[in-house]
Amino acid sequence: MTAGRKFRDVLARKGLVEAMASHSPLSAMLAAEAGFDAIWASGFELSAMYGVPDVSVVSMTQHLDMTRAMADRSGLPVVADIDTGFGNAINVLYAVEQYERAGAAVIVMEDKSFPKVTSLIAGGRQDMVRIEEFQGKIEAARAARRDPDLVIVARTEALIAGLGQEEALKRARAYEAAGADMILVHSKQKTPDEIEAFVRAWDGKAPIALVPTAYPQMTVARVKELKKIGLLIWGNHAIRASVGAMRATFAQIRKEGGIHGVESQIATVDDVFELQGMSAVKDNEKRFLR
């Protein structure tokens, strides 16, 4: 079964796919262990992992390699955040071919111009491409997929750019007309109002994807009440959890002059061995090493 088919099956069965952000194969494995349906191969998380801003600095190759490794290790469908598609429609043709081969189930492409600026930053430059240009990019994505089940998500940044609901709806309708399977609408409002108004006004057939980072009051239960949502992305909680945990641990070791105090608070070495599959290594040593 292809990755895209697997994603579509979960969507059909559950009505809502819940994806957790990841920046590494290990974080993707932990998301799978926690019971999420899919992995969000977040550009923000990977950029942060490299210690650089999410402004098209991380290359397609870096993100693609991580997508492949996360799909391989987690076994979950991966929702690949390909930002602007790394250029124009010609770049999109190449990118989609590569991401499908890397095992991505879903491709999310946003209607900002390359190089992009991260969406949630206060006062960020949020330059958009023309609607017709983005329709060409969606058509290129559709033309490049070999598997008809690979899900193409068009993400509009109209609300992020402050262009308002009418522009967001106009773009979403145009992107659905160009063949997008799903529409992601992003907002940085501190409450769900803006997004809920959009969802109520949405008159298309395509399900909506949300990333409620800025408006954490949006729970799974509330999303289900909205009916039209097909994909819920917890956008950056793997990297933020890591930053918090590492900071606290490092500070405590410095303060206490040793590692004795943190011992009971962090994962055991055996726990990490288990994640790495060391028990299988031991079994295989018995079987094959002579």
Q: How far apart are CA 41 and CA 21, in angstroms?
A: 6
- Tell me the C-alpha distance between 186 and 110, whole Å: 10
Looking at the Cβ atoms of 184 and 223, the one nearer to Mg ion is: 184
Note whether 85 binds Mg ion by CB under 5 A. Answer: no
Judged by CB, which is closer to Mg ion: 7, or 44?
44
Inter-CA distances, 85 with 26, 81, 266, Å: 26, 9, 38
Which lies closer to ligand SPV via its Cβ, residue 27 or residue 119? 119
Q: Is 54 a catalytic residue?
A: yes
Closest contact distance (angstroms) between CB of 255 and Mg ion is: 35
Which of 53, 262 has the CB closer to Mg ion?
53
CA distances from 106 to 17, 37, 203, 232 (A): 12, 13, 23, 13
Instruction: Answer with the entry of Mg ion, ligand SPV, none that 7 interacts with (C-beta below 5 to 8 A by kind).
Output: none
- Binding segment for Mg ion among 38-46, 62-70, 151-159, 176-184 (CB under 5 A)? 38-46
Q: Is 43 in the site for Mg ion (CB under 5 A)?
A: yes
Residue facing Mg ion at closest CB distance: 43
**Beta strand residue intervals within the chain, DSSP E:** 17-22, 38-41, 78-81, 106-110, 151-156, 182-185, 208-210, 229-234
Q: Which stretch binds Mg ion (CB under 5 A): 41-49, 64-72, 122-130, 131-139?
A: 41-49
Specify which residues 209 forms β-bridges with: 184, 231
Site of tokens 């609300």: 159
- Residue in 54, 81, 83, 181 annotated catalytic: 54
Residues that are catalytic: 54
